[in-house]
Amino acid sequence: MRFSVGSFVIFLKTDKRPNDRVLPAECWLKGRQDGKFLIADASYFSEGKLYKKVASEAPVRNFFGRMIARKLERAIRKGG
């Protein structure tokens, strides 16, 4: 199973099949006290492709444009 939280994609293995070869062995946590993070470009995953597509659409761009403008207005009013 794979899901994303923020900018992290989490792989959750819930069966007894062998680990696939997508991740290096040191990324799997079974029987370990700590693990390692694998850093990969978001476009490698379908979630990253979806977020990029959604972020490029006008409603999302417009929303964030308004939020940035509001932040700048507040900073100007505060003298910053």
| Residues spanned by the domain of 50 | 2-77
Given the structure tokens 């099949």, which residue do they identify?
A: 17
Distance CA 69, CA 18 (A): 51
**What pLDDT does residue 76 have?**
93
Instruction: Render pLDDT for 14-67 as a digit per residue (tens, 0 to 9).
Output: 888 887 777 777 777 778 888 777 777 777 888 888 888 988 899 999 999 999
Q: CA distances (Å), 58 to each of 11, 15, 75, in order?
A: 31, 41, 26
**What pLDDT does residue 36 have?**
78
- Could you tell me the pTM of the whole model? 0.47
State how many domains the chain has. 1
